[in-house]
C-alpha cells in the first residue's frame, strides 16, 4: 500500500494514499485496535447532514465563502450517498466524546472538498478540516447532534414502519379469529374462556403503545446540542448558529419531527436522559416482543405432544438428526433479539449516568447500542411478520378439545350455585376424571338442562348484566 505523510498538532503520520482521511483519523486507527464494532454508518450519515447544514449557515452568516461552502456541501452529499464509503474506519471504542469521529468527518470532507476545487489534497489543502468544516463547532456538540439525527431518521425509516406492519397483521388475525372461543390460561394453568381474536388483540395494543412511546421520546431527541461547542457556552459560535442549523437540517432531512436548538446546551452536552427515554421505549418493545414470540411458540407447540392450538409456517428443517422436525425459529430469533436489546438498555442507562461536570464521555457506546437495537428490532419484526405471523392458522380441533375438557368452565356456575359448590364440582370431576356436567348432576346441584343453560363458553368471553 502507498502512503503519504500528513501532519497535525502532534506531528507527522503515514496515511494510506488512496484515502481521504488525514493524521487525526490515522492516530485513532493505530491507538484503538479494539473490537470489530465500527462507528455506525448512520452516525456517519448524521455527521454529513450536520456538516452540510453548518457550512450553509456559516455561509449565510458570512463566515465561509461561497466557493468553500459549495465544495463542502458536495462532499457531504457524496458521504450521504455512500460514494465515500471506506473512508470512515474508526471503531466505537475510542474517545468517549467522539472527537476522532468528528475529525474523521472533518478530514474526509475537507480533503474531498479540496479535490472538488481542483487541488491535489495530498499536497495542498484548499479547505481546512478545523477552520472551515468544523467552523463554529466542537466535537462535544457535533457528536451528540449527529447521533440524534441518526436516531430520528432511523426510527422513521426502519422501526416505526416495522411496528406498523406487524401491528396490521395482528389486527387482521384478531378480526379473523374473533369468533373462535378457546380456553384461557393464567399461571400456566387452565382459566376461563376467551376468543382467539381477543388473545391476539393484546398484541395489537402492545404494538400501538410502542408507537406512542417512541413518538414520546422524539420530543427529547429533536433537541440538538449544536451551538454549545466545548462546554455549552457556544464559544466561537454565532448566537444564531444553532437555530439556523436546525432549520437547515429540517429542510435537508424532511423529517416529520422538526429539529430544534436545545434550550440548555450545558444539559445537552453532559446528560443523555433523552437517549435513555428512547432506549427505555425500545426495551419495553423488546419485552412485549418476547411475550408475543413466546406465546406463539407455546400455542404452536407440538405438533402432537404440545398445546397445538396454532399452526405456524414451516420454514426450514428443525433437526440434523430427527427427520420431519420443524421448529418455531422466527420466535426464537425474536426472543434472542429481545434479550440483546434489554442488555443494550442497561448499557445505555449506565453510560448516560456518566456525565461528569460539563461532558458525558460515553457517547459512542450510547449511539452504537441504540442504533443496533433499532436495527435488530426492525429486522426481527419484519421477519417475524413475513415468515410467521401472516401464516398463523387456528387449529380448531385442538382448541375445541381443550375448551370442552377444561374444568374452569365451572366459573360460569358461581352466580347460580356459589363458589364453594362450583369448586366442589370441579375438584370432584378432576379427581374422578369425569366431566363437569356429570358431577354437577351426580352431586344433585344442577339438572342437565340447568347446566346446559348456564355453561355456554361463548357467553363467558364478555361481561353481562
Catalytic residues: 187, 319
Listed in order, strand segments (DSSP E) in 263-334 are: 310-311
- 102 is known to lie in a ligand binding site: no
* CA–CA gap between residue 102 and residue 10 (Å, rounded): 17
- 186 is known to lie in a ligand binding site: yes
- 313 is known to lie in a ligand binding site: no
- 135 is known to lie in a ligand binding site: no
Residues 6+ positions from 304 with CB-CB distance below 8 Å: none
- 97 is known to lie in a ligand binding site: yes
- 89 is known to lie in a ligand binding site: no
Which single residue is written with the C-alpha cell 405432544?
A: 305
- 36 is known to lie in a ligand binding site: no
Other CB atoms within 10 A of residue 324 CB: 9
- 447 is known to lie in a ligand binding site: no
Q: For residue 183, what are the β-bridge partners?
A: 193
- 404 is known to lie in a ligand binding site: no
Which single residue is written with the C-alpha cell 375438584?
A: 427
- 35 is known to lie in a ligand binding site: no
- 128 is known to lie in a ligand binding site: yes
- 140 is known to lie in a ligand binding site: yes
- 17 is known to lie in a ligand binding site: no
Nearest to 295 by CA among 376, 211, 206, 208: 206
> Cα–Cα–Cα angle for 287, 293, 296, nearest 5°?
140
Taken in order 411, 417, 418, 424, the sign of the CA dihedral is negative
Q: What is the dihedral of CA 220, 146, 285, 376, to 10 degrees?
A: 180
Nearest to 380 by CA among 440, 449, 332, 437: 332
CA distances to 96, 138, 270, 351 from 359, in Å: 9, 12, 4, 12
- 414 is known to lie in a ligand binding site: no
- 129 is known to lie in a ligand binding site: yes
Residues 6+ positions from 465 with CB-CB distance below 8 Å: none
CA 244 to mean position of chain CA atoms: 30
* CA–CA gap between residue 298 and residue 177 (Å, rounded): 18
Residues 6+ positions from 9 with CB-CB distance below 8 Å: none
Q: For residue 13, what are the β-bridge partners?
A: 6
Binding-site positions read 97-99, 128-131, 138-140, 186, 320, 325-327
Binding residues for substrate: 97-99, 128-131, 138-140, 186, 320, 325-327
Amino acid at each position: 500500500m502507498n502512503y503519504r505523510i500528513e501532519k497535525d498538532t502532534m506531528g507527522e503520520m503515514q496515511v494510506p494514499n488512496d484515502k481521504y482521511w488525514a493524521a487525526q483519523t490515522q492516530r485513532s486507527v493505530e491507538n484503538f485496535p479494539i473490537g470489530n464494532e465500527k462507528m455506525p454508518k448512520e452516525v456517519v450519515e448524521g455527521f454529513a447532514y450536520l456538516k452540510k447544514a453548518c457550512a450553509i449557515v456559516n455561509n449565510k452568516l458570512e463566515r465561509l465563502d461561497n466557493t468553500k461552502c459549495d465544495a463542502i456541501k458536495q462532499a457531504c452529499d457524496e458521504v450521504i450517498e455512500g460514494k465515500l464509503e471506506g473512508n470512515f474506519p474508526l471503531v466505537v471504542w475510542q474517545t468517549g466524546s467522539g472527537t476522532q469521529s468528528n475529525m474523521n468527518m472533518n478530514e474526509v470532507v475537507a480533503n474531498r472538498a479540496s479535490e472538488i476545487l481542483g487541488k491535489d489534497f495530498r499536497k495542498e489543502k484548499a479547505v481546512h478540516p478545523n477552520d472551515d468544516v468544523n467552523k463554529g463547532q466542537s466535537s462535544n456538540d457535533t457528536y451528540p447532534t449527529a447521533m440524534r439525527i441518526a436516531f430520528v431518521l432511523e426510527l422513521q425509516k426502519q422501526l416505526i414502519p416495522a411496528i406498523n406492519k406487524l401491528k396490521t397483521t395482528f389486527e387482521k388475525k384478531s378480526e379473523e379469529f374473533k369468533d373462535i372461543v378457546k380456553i384461557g390460561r393464567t399461571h400456566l394453568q387452565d382459566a376461563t374462556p376467551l376468543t382467539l381474536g381477543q388473545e391476539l388483540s393484546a398484541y395489537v395494543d402492545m404494538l400501538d403503545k410502542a408507537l406512542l412511546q417512541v413518538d414520546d421520546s422524539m420530543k427529547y431527541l429533536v433537541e440538538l446540542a449544536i451551538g454549545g461547542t466545548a462546554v455549552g457556552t457556544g464559544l466561537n459560535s454565532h448566537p444564531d448558529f444553532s437555530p439556523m442549523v436546525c432549520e437547515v437540517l429540517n429542510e435537508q432531512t424532511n423529517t416529520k419531527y422538526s429539529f430544534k436548538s436545545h434550550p440548555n446546551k450545558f444539559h445537552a452536552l453532559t446528560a443523555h436522559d433523552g437517549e435513555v427515554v428512547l432506549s427505555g421505549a425500545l426495551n419495553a418493545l423488546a419485552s412485549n416482543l418476547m411475550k408475543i414470540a413466546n406465546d406463539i411458540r407455546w400455542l404452536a407447540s407440538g405438533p402432537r405432544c404440545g398445546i397445538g392450538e396454532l399452526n405456524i409456517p414451516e420454514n426450514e428443517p428443525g433437526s440434523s438428526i430427527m427427520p420431519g422436525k420443524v421448529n418455531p425459529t422466527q420466535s426464537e430469533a425474536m426472543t434472542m433479539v429481545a434479550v440483546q436489546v434489554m442488555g443494550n438498555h442497561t448499557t445505555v442507562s449506565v453510560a448516560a449516568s456518566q456525565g461528569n461536570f460539563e461532558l458525558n464521555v460515553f457517547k459512542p457506546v450510547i449511539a452504537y447500542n441504540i442504533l443496533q437495537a433499532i436495527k435488530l428490532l426492525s429486522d426481527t419484526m419484519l421477519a417475524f411478520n413475513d415468515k410467521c405471523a401472516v401464516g398463523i392458522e387456528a387449529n380448531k380441533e385442538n382448541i375445541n378439545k381443550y375448551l370442552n375438557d377444561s374444568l374452569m368452565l365451572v366459573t360460569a356456575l358461581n352466580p347460580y350455585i356459589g363458589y364453594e359448590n362450583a369448586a366442589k364440582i370441579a375438584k370432584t370431576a378432576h379427581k374422578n376424571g369425569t366431566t363437569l356436567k356429570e358431577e354437577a348432576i351426580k352431586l344433585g346441584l344442577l339438572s342437565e338442562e340447568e347446566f346446559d343453560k348456564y355453561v355456554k363458553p361463548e357467553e363467558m368471553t364478555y361481561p353481562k348484566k
